[in-house]
């Protein structure tokens, strides 16, 4: 072991990296269960491909742009990672630099994967791959540099983002809203119920995300210490509080506690606690989870009354909950919890809240127009949306030449009957009340 490198810290970050990778099948299952059967494979493929493409981009130049020293964005001194040794790097003296690199690569890949939930069932797969590379290069990498880079201007200003409230969730939510508006609505929105085709998939996916988030947030301490333990307990507590709050909101609105609502609530709580995880107490985590659940629930109800087809309500759940979490970090942060943090608004210090507000506004103000330019640029050089016939028959077949389910015609979420392999025709399902279906 290289001098100064801690075996315990290194082991924790490597295990956390594996836990974050577990979020990939978790997100795929979560999103895949919420879409119709004819788009299941495409939804899975967007998550898997985003992580894979960004892993390559990260080694080539993405990590250098995000984390090496520079100005608006990092420089090119770490392109190809050849200049990085097996020893410690500038972000932790107790873990190998490469451990930090691979840990952060999954953050970058999963952020793009989150965006896919807003544009499922209608974007061409090659266009999504182009979007993945361009968006990560021109949006994620500069933003990560601002917030986490050693010379990032938001970091130097004092912005707190323990594991990605601004960099991951607000950025993904904002981009998702813009991309959904550029692509337009799915052809059968408002004409037929668009029901989740496999709710157990969604519940299993939410569970895997919950487990993976312990690595996402806990690993961001970059050490096996008390801050990591704090991040794990606040993560768990906020998710649980948000799930309970969402079920209560479901009961209040419809008299029923929906499974999709419970899963969505848990994810919203995980999103909201992400920027605050290592800076707040477990009691504060309960407040963050509950407030985020209320805000995201209201955002979903509002979005359903508009013509915006954010298919899985990515903006409501990641964008809105990310904003709530980032702002409340400036309210509940405590130096008693983390000496490297600050005392927030509840301790009489208004500056952290103002800095957090600035970080939120700057994130949205940068991400929205650049995402719009990227979407428009792709549309100039390539068809960005599938043809009408392909959209109605299913993007699994048009984009991948495969079906998720063979030997039977399965429910497509449009209220049609199900013809099983043995020839039994089941009755169409009744239209369900509008519940949240997001991640």
pLDDT in tens, 211-260: 999 999 999 999 999 999 999 999 999 999 999 999 999 999 999 999 99
Whether 416 is covered by a domain: the verdict is no
| Res 435: pLDDT | 41
How does DSSP classify residue 428? P
Local structure of 38: helix, strand or coil: helix
Whether 388 is covered by a domain: the verdict is no
Please measure the distance between the N-terminal and C-terminal CA atoms of the chain and give it in whole angstroms: 40
Whether 144 is covered by a domain: the verdict is yes
| Res 86: pLDDT | 82
Which region among 58-72, 93-107, 353-367, 425-439 has the lowest average model confidence (pLDDT)?
425-439
| Res 414: pLDDT | 43
| Res 59: pLDDT | 98
| Res 407: pLDDT | 57
Task: Let me know: does 322 contact 173? Beta carbons within 8 Å.
Answer: yes
Average pLDDT rounded to a whole number, residues 179-194: 87
61-65 contacts, C-beta under 8 A, 24 or more apart:
61/137, 62/105, 62/108, 62/136, 62/137, 62/140, 62/141, 63/101, 63/104, 63/105, 65/137, 65/141, 65/142, 65/145
Measured distance CA(326)–CA(134) in Å, rounded = 26
| Res 408: pLDDT | 44
* pLDDT band at residue 428 using 50, 70 and 90 as cut-offs: very low
DSSP state string for 55-96: HHHIIIIIHHHHHSSBSSSB-STTGGGTT--SSEETTEEEEE
**Quick one: angle between helices 259-273 and 7-34, nearest 10?**
140
Task: Let me know: does 122 contact 186? Beta carbons within 8 Å.
Answer: yes
Whether 374 is covered by a domain: the verdict is yes
Measured distance CA(170)–CA(2) in Å, rounded = 37
Reply yes or no on whether the pLDDT at 424 is more than 90: no
Whether 430 is covered by a domain: the verdict is no
Reply yes or no on whether the pLDDT at 413 is more than 80: no
Average pLDDT rounded to a whole number, residues 59-85: 95
Q: What is the mean pLDDT of the chain?
A: 92
Whether 75 is covered by a domain: the verdict is yes
| Res 190: pLDDT | 73
Reply yes or no on whether the pLDDT at 423 is more than 50: no
| Res 431: pLDDT | 40
Task: Let me know: does 318 contact 176? Beta carbons within 8 Å.
Answer: yes
Whether 113 is covered by a domain: the verdict is yes
Reply yes or no on whether the pLDDT at 158 is more than 60: yes
| For the chain, percent of residues with pLDDT exceeding 70 | 92
| Res 122: pLDDT | 95
Whether 436 is covered by a domain: the verdict is no
Query: What CATH number corresponds to the domain at position 346?
Result: 1.10.3430.10
| Res 415: pLDDT | 39
State the residue range of the domain holding 203: 7-381
Higher pLDDT, residue 83 or 419: 83
| Res 385: pLDDT | 95
Domain count, the chain: 1
Measured distance CA(402)–CA(419) in Å, rounded = 19
pLDDT in tens, 254-280: 999 999 999 999 999 999 999 999 999
Measured distance CA(141)–CA(149) in Å, rounded = 10
Task: Let me know: does 28 contact 110? Beta carbons within 8 Å.
Answer: no
């Amino acid at each position: 072991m290289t001098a100064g490198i801690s075996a315990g810290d290194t082991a924790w970050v490597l295990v956390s990296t594996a836990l974050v990778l577990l979020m990939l099948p978790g997100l795929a299952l979560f999103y895949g269960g919420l879409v119709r059967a004819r788009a299941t494979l495409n939804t899975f493929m967007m998550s898997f491909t985003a992580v894979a493409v960004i892993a390559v981009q990260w080694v080539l130049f993405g990590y250098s742009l995000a984390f090496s020293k520079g100005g608006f964005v990092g420089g090119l001194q770490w392109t190809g990672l050849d200049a990085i040794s097996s020893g410690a790097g500038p972000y932790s003296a107790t873990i190998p630099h490469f451990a930090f690199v691979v840990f952060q690569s999954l953050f970058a890949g999963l952020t793009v994967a989150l965006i896919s939930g807003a544009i499922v069932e209608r974007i061409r797969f090659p266009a999504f791959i182009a979007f993945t590379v361009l968006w990560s290069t021109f949006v994620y990498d500069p933003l990560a540099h601002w917030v986490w880079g050693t010379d990032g201007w938001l970091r130097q200003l004092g912005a707190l983002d323990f594991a990605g409230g601004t960099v991951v969730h607000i950025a993904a939510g904002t981009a998702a809203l813009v991309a959904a508006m550029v692509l337009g609505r799915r052809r059968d929105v408002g004409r037929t119920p668009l029901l989740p085709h496999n709710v157990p998939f969604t519940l299993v996916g939410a569970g895997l995300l919950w487990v993976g988030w312990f690595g996402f947030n806990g690993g961001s301490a970059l050490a096996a210490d008390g801050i990591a333990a704090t991040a794990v307990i606040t993560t768990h507590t906020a998710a649980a509080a948000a799930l309970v709050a969402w079920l209560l909101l479901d009961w209040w609105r419809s008299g029923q506690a929906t499974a999709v609502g419970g899963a969505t609530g848990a994810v919203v709580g995980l999103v909201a606690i992400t920027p605050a995880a290592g800076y707040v107490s477990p009691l504060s985590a309960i407040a963050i989870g509950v407030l985020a659940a209320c805000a995201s629930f209201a955002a979903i109800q509002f979005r359903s009354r508009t013509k915006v087809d954010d298919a899985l309500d990515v903006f409501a759940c990641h964008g809105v909950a990310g904003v709530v979490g980032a702002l409340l970090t400036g309210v509940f942060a405590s130096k008693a919890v983390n000496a490297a943090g600050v005392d927030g608004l509840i301790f009489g210090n208004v500056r952290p809240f103002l800095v957090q507000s600035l970080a939120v506004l700057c994130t949205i103000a940068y991400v929205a127009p650049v995402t719009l330019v990227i979407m428009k640029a792709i549309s100039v050089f390539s068809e960005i949306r599938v043809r009408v016939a392909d959209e109605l028959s299913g993007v699994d077949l048009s984009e991948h030449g495969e079906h998720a389910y063979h030997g039977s015609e399965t429910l497509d979420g449009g209220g049609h009957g199900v013809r099983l392999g043995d020839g039994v025709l089941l009755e169409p399902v009744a239209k369900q009340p509008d519940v949240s279906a997001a991640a």
